[in-house]
Amino acid sequence: MADLETLTLPVLPLTNDVVLPHMVVTLALETDEARAAADAAARADDTLLLVPRQADGRYARVGTIARIENRGNLPGGMSALVIRATTRAEVGVGVIGQTSALWVHVTPLPDGEVNGEVDELATELRAALRALFESLGGRRLTEVLRGVDDPSALADIVGWWPDLAVERKVELLETPELVGRLRLVLGWVKEALAEHELADKIRHDVSEGLEARQREFLLRQQMDAIRKELGEDGGDDLVGGYRERLAKLVEAKALTDDSRKAIEREVDRLERTPEQNTEHGWIRNWLDTVFEIPWGERSVDDYDMERARQVLDEDHTGLDEVKDRIVEMLAVRKLLAERAAESADDDADTDAPDADTPDTDTDTDDSVSDGSVGDADAGERPRPHAVPDVDASGRKPGAILALAGPPGVGKTSLGASVARALGRRFTRVALGGIRDEAEIRGHRRTYVGAQPGRIVRALQEAGTMNPVVLLDEVDKLGADWRGDPSSALLEVLDPAQNHTFRDHYLEVDLDLSDVLFIATANMLEQIPGALLDRLEVIRLDGYTEAEKVVIARDHLFRRQLRRNGLRNDEVDVTDAALGEIVDGYTREAGVRNLERELGKVLRKVATEVAKGSETPIVVDIDDLPNYLGRRRFFDEAADRTVVPGVATGLAVTGVGGDVLFVEATSMPGESGGGLTVTGQLGDVMKESAQIALSYVRSKADALGIEPSAFDGKRFHVHFPAGAIPKDGPSAGVTMTTALVSLLRDTPMRPTVAMTGEVTLSGRVLPIGGVKQKVLAAHRAGLREVILPLRNEPDLDDVPEAVRQEMTFHPVADVSRVLELALEPAPVPETLAA
């Protein structure tokens, strides 16, 4: 069969195995199909075709031509054949033979010639097979390998490999090209060898680790026995180190008795617990955490009030209320320290021996001459003001401030400035998005991966027990099934309780009364009432345009110069340009967008400088379109209110004050009339719209409105910017004015804005957020504000520069609002009851 002529042979299907060329196997004739093929082979010179049958019932496209060497029966009586496989053959079409067996045309497939590449692959495959068979312990396979010289037979020898899947054997059978077959088998052998080596390495590492631990355990047992024989205490360096650190804290009087006992108890447990025990690591972690707390460490407060005010003024422009509060706190602590020092002097004088009695250890003048308070033991001089001051009731003068205001007004950075002014360490705790109560109070030690809460970690980061801790975004705390973090803060932020704060992980008392907590929030309404009651709220309602120009010139400009690699002598932005950026490109309460726009200008300037342009580059108001594009904000009140039915109101949002336009219109509708209110409004604002319409209908005659104007009309009140949720009663007078303007066909004055709650009787009730609303009106170019009469005292919070530029109209009745807001019209001075 050396030629490639087509042969016609009977087919013997193989169900669970594959016979490759050069193999001699015994096949049991278990099926009628197999016995028919064996009988038919007698008519083909005892030659047949072995074809694997795959799982889906299809035959392989390549089979093996085999010659029957012997016929016989197995011990159980079943017929069997001893066959020798010779070569691969491609299966052709089936034909009808002289027997019941399946006959097919087959074409023998040659192996191809042997060249240099085949020799190289065969050599590499032989080495890989030898390594694999030796690692598997297959001595017989290794012996067979020595007698195989033909590369084709070497590739097919893996047919004897018991771990090779049938699918791979079929793939090998269907690869007649010798080079491809060698590469295929070589890849399988390398893969199996790598898996076997990895398994051996894992077994070796596991065995070696077990032996090492057993050896360590035996050695430690022997060491303990030796120490007992020598009479030693059995402690090791680790436990001794913890005891030494504890002794230092006790000597410095930095621990309470309960804390000392708790630490001693854990050190004793560590000494009794072997290292193989899981609790050994837990105890060590707890002790390491406890000793990382700065027990007894306190930074020295700087009571220089003038310097503190200077530091605050250097870092922030405006915010006088906050700065005054910080200076007041310093003044109180300074007076308490001085009074405590005077009391210590009096006590020392009372207990001092007579002048005739020689005693060199009773001179207390040096220990209190600088106003310090502390333990004046002989030979020990306390640090000035390092010990916390207390008032006459024994309560420490703790202060918990809350800075509330829109984003970008400097709440977070103000905390760092306060720490610098006090001479204290500063650390920040971000609370936004926290929903797990354990983030504040820590996890119980029984949990895997337990750790202390953020308050304890803040003390560790600061390194002192009296830092300034900024609780950022306290209004963004959440609550779910894991707990309520805001409730966990109740103890932290209560001066009457936080001197014995207990973290769930540590379970020892921590004194937080010396910590200056500063919380920041955008919306006070989102803070739970119990927590808000513990905070001293200071509002930061934003900056005026003049203050923003100063901030941009003195702070933002220098910072952006450094960030963009520019020097002071390379660029100059005029005050007029800064004012235009404030007024035309940013309308915000803070200065965050202002800094972004200024950075955009300086980046373009940096590009010009890098290209070699002549410096200094001056940026004036006329140059801004080239740097920032067209102006983004305009004073649109005049354009919006030119149509009757539109009124200008004021509102407070999460980002500060804002100008709110209210539009009213009417259309033919049901006979009884009706009202539609749109703009994603809350229930309170919808009720205010109903109140405004009811008031206008009830006072139509007094307002100069024909009663027939309501007949068959349906009214629609709309608040633009419908994507923004709105609620609250302060738009009542604005909606009333819009309806009267519509019905009287009289537009509103374009320079006026208003705010206030309205009642059915026409009274104007007070509202909140006056300062933020006034600043928003000032930013929008409005120069008159109508507000409730009872809110007139709130105008004292408005900056003097804004008050001088604007006119305020405190009113108590809607009639006065209409008189001031609408263009001249015959509106009576008083309304009938």
User: Cα–Cα distance between 781 and 751 in angstroms, integer?
Assistant: 8
What CA–CA distance (Å, rounded) separates 221 from 238?
Answer: 17
Chain centre to alpha carbon of residue 364: 55
Query: Are the CB atoms for 290 and 263 separated by under 8 Å?
Result: yes
Report the 10 Å Cβ neighbour count for 182: 23
Q: H/E element holding 243?
A: helix 237-251
> Which neighbouring-strand residues pair with 807?
784
How long, in residues, is the chain? Answer: 833
**Strand 24-28, strand 79-95: pairing:** antiparallel
DSSP sequence for 291-337: HHS-TT--PPP---HHHHHHHHHHH-SS-HHHHHHHHHHHHHHHHHH
Distance CA 658, CA 141 (A): 88
**Do β-strands 571-573 and 426-430 pair in parallel, antiparallel, or remain unpaired?**
unpaired
Q: Write down the residue that tokens 């300074």 correspond to.
A: 334
DSSP 8-state code for residue 623: G
**What count of Cα atoms within 13 Å lies in the side-chain half-sphere of residue 277?**
11
* Distance from C-alpha of 522 to C-alpha of 545, rounded to nearest angstrom: 21
Token pair of 95 as six digits: 């034909």
Asked if 112 and 178 touch (Cβ cutoff 8 Å), the reply is yes
* Sequence-ordered list of residues with C-beta below 8 angstroms from that of 511, at least 6 positions apart, any chain: 465, 498, 499, 500, 501
Amino acid at 354: D
Beta bridge mates, 617? 571
Tokens representing residue 585 in the block: 């490109």
Q: How far apart are CA 313 and CA 311, in angstroms?
A: 5
Torsions phi, psi of 73, nearest 5? -125, 145
Active site residues: 730, 773
Which H/E stretch holds residue 713?
A: strand 713-718
- Give me the residue label for tokens 């342009």: 613
432: enclosing H helix or E strand: none
Residue 651 CA to residue 755 CA, distance in Å, equals 8
Max CA pair span of the chain: 145
Neighbours of 577 (CB within 10 A): 23
Backbone angles phi, psi at 25, to 5 degrees: -135, 160
Express the helix, strand and coil content of the chain in percent, nearest 5 each: 45, 20, 35
Residue 594 φ then ψ, to 5°: -60, -40
Query: What is the torsional sign of CA 549, 550, 556, 562?
Result: positive
Instruction: Mention every residue, 6+ apart, whose C-beta is less than 8 A from residue 269.
Output: 279, 283
